[in-house]
Structures are given as C-alpha cells and as structure tokens.
C-alpha cells in the first residue's frame, strides 16, 4: 500500500478512521464505515442524504465486498473476483450507494458509473464504436440496466447493453476485469430484456445483492 494510513480518510480537514491497521492489513469496523459513508454521502449528494438503518444488511454485504473481507464474503456467499449486480425498487438508493462505496477504498482502482441511457445515446450517434469502447479493460458500473431504449444506428436496431455485457463477460473470463451494474429489474425481467445467453453470462459476472422488494422510495 502506498498510503501509510489507508484506514484513515480525510474529508474537509476531518479524519475518519475506518478501523485499525495491523501490519499491512486493515481491520475494518463496520459502524465506523457507516459513519464515514454518511459524511461522504452528504458531501456528494447534499445534506438530505443519510444512511438508513433498514439498509444495514445490504450495506454489510457491499462493504465487505469492497474491502475484500474474504472470511465475511465467504459466509455471505459473495465471490470477490466477480462484480456486483445491485437490484432493488426505484428510489431505494442503489445509484447513490454504488457511487459512494468506492470511496471506502481510495487505495484501489476506482470504477466509472455510466448511465445505460447515455451509452445507448452514444451508440445512436456514433454506432458500434460505442460497444468497442466499453469492451476494453477499464472498470465500469452500468447504472439503471434495463431502462435504456433499444439502440438504432443507420436504421439498424441493436440491444446495446446486451452486446456490451457479452464483451464484459469475455473480459472477465480472459483478464478478470470486473463490471458492476444497478437495475430495477428482477431475474425474469432481465432475461426477457437481454435473452437467456446474456442472463447466463450475468450469473458468472455478478454477485447479486438485492434490496428488499418493499424498500421505500427515499427520494419522496
């Protein structure tokens, strides 16, 4: 680790400890991580942002995944080598959390969060180069998978995100490049949207982390 104190993060001149350093390992404290996430969330998204107690189970899984706590991930049936597919109803906080959690581990390679709609709009404008651009070894999170329209370039329709997911699967198999996604859709809806071939690849690409289907809309 290049940072001698990766367990301490400074925001606006205030130090937040996420745990203790033991040798070259960080012994993380979940409650301290939640305190930091609440502070960072307010800085990123405004004062109305908060960490909800009802989301602790989801956050526990996500935090353990991002800090790569192998023992806890094994208990939670999470494979650290795969990406995250974060599912849940509209407004439950998926996008905010996936944008936020990378700040827990500033010493690791960050991912870019890209709305799927924007990707399809790019395809409509410049065509298949868009799919190639997301088939490289960069680290991406595709936000709101399944709400994007079908792509159309010069009169030809294309299921853009389906093609990109197939490319990301190849990258994962060949180079262990991770991909994350957020979606409002369930497994059946994803299969209807992208087909059985993509859905089967998604099982190998992602750990499924799901909010409760009755999670309330926090934007109301």
pLDDT-derived band at 214, boundaries 50, 70, 90: confident
| pLDDT at 80 (0 to 100) | 97
What is the model's pLDDT at position 6?
Answer: 76
The pLDDT value recorded for residue 3 is 64
Tokens read off for 184: 């409002």
Predicted local distance difference test score (pLDDT) of residue 135: 86
Q: What is the largest CA-CA distance in the chain?
A: 59
Which tens digits make up the pLDDT trace of 106-143? 888 899 999 999 999 999 999 999 999 998 889 999 99
Cα distance between residue 183 and residue 124, in whole Å = 22
How far, CA to CA in Å, does 216 sit from each of 22, 77, 122? Answer: 39, 26, 32
pLDDT given at position 4: 65
Check: CB of residue 182 under 8 Å from CB of residue 95: yes
Reported as a single tens digit per residue, the pLDDT across 151-189 is 999 889 999 999 999 999 999 999 999 999 999 999 889
Q: Which of 41-45, 100-104, 216-220 has the lowest mean pLDDT?
A: 216-220
pLDDT digits (tens, 9 = 90+) for 6-35: 789 999 899 999 999 888 888 999 999 999
Mean per-residue pLDDT for 85-89? 95
Mean pLDDT of 93-103: 96
Res 219: pLDDT: 77
Cα separations in angstroms, 138 against 43, 175, 188, 193, 194: 26, 11, 29, 25, 23
Q: Residue ranges of the domains in the chain?
A: 8-210
- Between strands 206-210 and 156-158, the pairing is unpaired
- The pLDDT of residue 155: 87
Query: In the predicted model, is pLDDT for residue 1 greater than 60?
Result: no
Domain spanning 8-210, CATH architecture? 3-Layer(aba) Sandwich (3.40)
| Tens digits of residue pLDDT in 37-83 | 999 999 999 999 999 999 999 999 999 999 999 999 999 999 999 99
């Amino acid at each position: 680790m290049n940072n001698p104190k990766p367990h301490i993060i400074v925001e606006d001149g205030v130090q937040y400890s996420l745990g203790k350093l033991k040798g070259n390992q960080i012994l993380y404290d979940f409650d301290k991580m939640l305190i930091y996430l609440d502070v960072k969330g307010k800085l990123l998204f405004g004062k109305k942002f908060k960490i909800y107690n009802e989301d602790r189970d989801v956050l526990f899984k996500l935090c353990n995944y991002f800090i790569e706590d192998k023992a806890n991930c094994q208990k939670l049936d999470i494979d650290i080598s795969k990406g995250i597919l974060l599912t849940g109803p509209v407004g439950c906080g998926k996008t905010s959390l996936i944008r936020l959690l990378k700040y827990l581990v500033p010493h690791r390679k960050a991912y870019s969060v890209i709305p799927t709609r924007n990707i399809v709009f790019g395809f409509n404008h410049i065509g298949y180069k868009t799919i190639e651009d997301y088939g490289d070894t960069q680290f991406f999170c595709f936000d709101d998978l399944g709400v994007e329209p079908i792509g159309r370039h010069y009169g030809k329709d294309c299921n853009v995100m389906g093609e990109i997911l197939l490319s990301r699967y190849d990258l994962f198999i060949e180079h262990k490049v991770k991909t994350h996604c957020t979606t409002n859709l369930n497994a059946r809806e994803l299969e209807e949207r992208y087909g059985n071939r993509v859905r089967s690849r998604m099982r190998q690409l992602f750990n499924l982390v799901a909010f409760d289907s009755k999670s309330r809309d926090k934007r109301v």
